[in-house]
């Protein structure tokens, strides 16, 4: 039991040390970073259009074949997902909803002040 | 003979090296740390230790039971220990390769790959469900040969300790002879990468020669820097979800299977397998990447 408590304390100290040393950034995306992120994570996906979230903490990206990919924040990095062809996209009040239907990622919301032209045909 | 647990003895060194690596990361700007990711990794390490303590007696009892059928009565000697260290690493290679190619074992091993960071805390991100997935089976042949149980576990502990230091971006390439024989940070960065070129490569624990021998070796390239993590990245940094997410996904897929063949594929096919061949498996990703990289021939 003592070992368990000491281990938990060591975890708290090391995690706190990482925080104190400044390893706690919440980066924002720009167009080039979004392209690099999605192309580096999804084999065969060549980004042609990027719509950044208003705060830069996410993006929707399209390739030449019209396929979509999402970039979402995860810690100091990014989570990238292909958007299934049958996923529902809804745009209301400046927020784009992407219904992925995953257990832990059902409905993604991106604040997008203006819907880009290339998305208009795909959004309800 | 009673031997110490190498992993327990190494814990203070693990902590010191993590602090040193954090400092070097800050100072040199090489590698990445994130307090949320590191906290999750360390929690997963602690959880793995607890899981190991809860199931260790059963694994030990099974090992002792199997050992009584050992082919040879191998005593304690330096050559025997050297041999078991090498053979245990060979068993690790095949366990590790299976853990990446069969979803049942991947569900347990995926924890170790679920971080998008590659640093010394990633090394401690270890399985909670290894006993449930029966991964200890890969070591049983060593007891059947007749190696003493304590000797095998000691060798396995040393193997695990060796693998700690290779989880870093601060060591580039080591001398050629060392890179040829031993698993190194460079080789293991490839193993943790999701770049199509690197998927399912470099399974080695201590000796990279197994990958060279069995055709799974891939060198790290300066023009294709590793991107770490898993093909379908976790959506949360929650360590509990990291520990069980693939089991949950597998159970859901198994429940929806429409035939015994599909059920077998869902449980024992490669990770990402889908009926009809449309799944995002490592082989499919590499195939698509190679097709995209190959210039189309004019008809």
Phi and psi (nearest 5°) for A38?
A: -75, -40
The reply to whether A11 falls in a domain is no
Domain count, chain B: 1
Whole-angstrom distance, CA of residue B196 vs CA of residue B201: 10
Domain count, chain A: 1
The reply to whether B61 falls in a domain is yes
The reply to whether A56 falls in a domain is yes
What pLDDT does B84 receive?
98
Structure tokens at A36: 């690099």
The reply to whether A13 falls in a domain is no
The reply to whether A14 falls in a domain is no
The reply to whether A103 falls in a domain is yes
The reply to whether B21 falls in a domain is no
Q: Do B36 and A21 touch (CB under 8 A)?
A: no
Q: Do A40 and B227 touch (CB under 8 A)?
A: yes
Structure tokens at A21: 């040393």
Q: Do B194 and A7 touch (CB under 8 A)?
A: no
Q: Do B22 and A43 touch (CB under 8 A)?
A: no
Among A14, A38, A81, most B C-beta atoms within 10 A, so best to mutate, is: A14
Tell me the helix, strand and coil percentages in chain A, rounded to 5: 30, 35, 35
Give me the residues of chain B with pLDDT under 70, please: 295-299
Containing domain of residue B117, as a range? 53-271
The reply to whether A101 falls in a domain is yes
The reply to whether A68 falls in a domain is yes
The reply to whether A102 falls in a domain is yes
What pLDDT does A56 receive?
96
Determine contact: A43 vs chain B, CB below 8 A.
Answer: yes
- Contact predicate A84/A102, CB 8 Å: no
Q: How far is CA A40 from CA B61, B63, B229, in A?
A: 47, 44, 12
pLDDT (tens digit per residue) in B95-143: 999 999 999 999 999 999 999 999 999 999 999 999 999 999 999 999 9
The reply to whether B14 falls in a domain is no
Containing domain of residue A91, as a range? 31-122
Q: What is the ipTM of this complex?
A: 0.93
The reply to whether B48 falls in a domain is no
pLDDT (tens digit per residue) in B33-67: 999 999 999 999 999 999 999 999 999 999 999 99
């Amino acid at each position: 039991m003592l070992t368990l408590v000491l281990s938990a304390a060591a975890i708290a100290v090391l995690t706190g040390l990482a925080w104190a040393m400044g390893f706690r950034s919440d980066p924002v995306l720009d167009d080039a970073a979004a392209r690099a992120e999605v192309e580096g994570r999804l084999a065969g996906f060549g980004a042609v259009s990027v719509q950044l979230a208003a705060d830069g903490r996410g993006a929707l990206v399209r390739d030449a074949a019209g396929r979509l990919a999402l970039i979402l924040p995860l810690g100091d990095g990014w989570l990238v997902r292909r958007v299934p062809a049958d996923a529902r996209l809804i745009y209301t009040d400046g927020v784009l909803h992407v219904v992925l239907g995953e257990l832990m990622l059902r409905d993604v919301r991106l604040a997008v002040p203006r819907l880009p032209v290339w998305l208009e045909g795909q959004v309800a | 003979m009673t031997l110490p647990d190498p992993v327990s003895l190494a814990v203070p060194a693990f902590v010191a090296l993590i602090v040193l690596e954090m400092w070097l990361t800050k100072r040199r700007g090489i590698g990445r740390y994130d307090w949320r990711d590191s906290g999750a990794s360390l929690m997963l390490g602690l959880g793995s230790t607890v899981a190991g303590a809860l199931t260790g007696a059963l694994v030990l009892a099974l090992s002792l039971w199997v050992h009584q059928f050992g082919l040879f009565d191998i005593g304690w000697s330096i050559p025997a220990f050297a041999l078991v260290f090498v053979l245990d690493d060979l068993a690790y290679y095949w366990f590790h390769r299976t853990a990446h190619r069969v979803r049942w074992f991947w569900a347990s091993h995926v924890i170790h790959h679920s971080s998008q960071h590659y640093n010394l805390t990633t090394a401690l991100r270890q399985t909670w469900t290894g006993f449930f997935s029966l991964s200890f089976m890969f070591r049983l042949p060593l007891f059947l040969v007749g190696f003493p149980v304590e000797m095998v576990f000691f060798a396995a502990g040393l193997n695990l300790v060796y693998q700690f230091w290779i989880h870093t971006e601060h060591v580039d390439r080591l001398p050629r002879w060392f890179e040829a024989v031993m698993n190194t940070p460079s080789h293991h960065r490839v193993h943790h990468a999701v770049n199509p070129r690197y998927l399912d490569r470099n399974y080695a624990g201590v000796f990279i020669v197994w990958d060279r021998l069995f055709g799974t070796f891939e060198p790290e390239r300066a023009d294709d820097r590793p991107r770490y993590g898993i093909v379908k990245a976790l959506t949360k940094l929650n360590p509990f979800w990291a520990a069980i997410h693939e089991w949950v996904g597998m159970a859901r897929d198994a429940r929806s299977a429409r035939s015994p063949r599909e059920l077998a594929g869902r449980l024992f096919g490669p990770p990402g397998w889908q009926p009809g061949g449309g799944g995002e498996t490592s082989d499919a990703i590499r195939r698509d990447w190679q097709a995209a990289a190959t210039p189309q021939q004019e008809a």
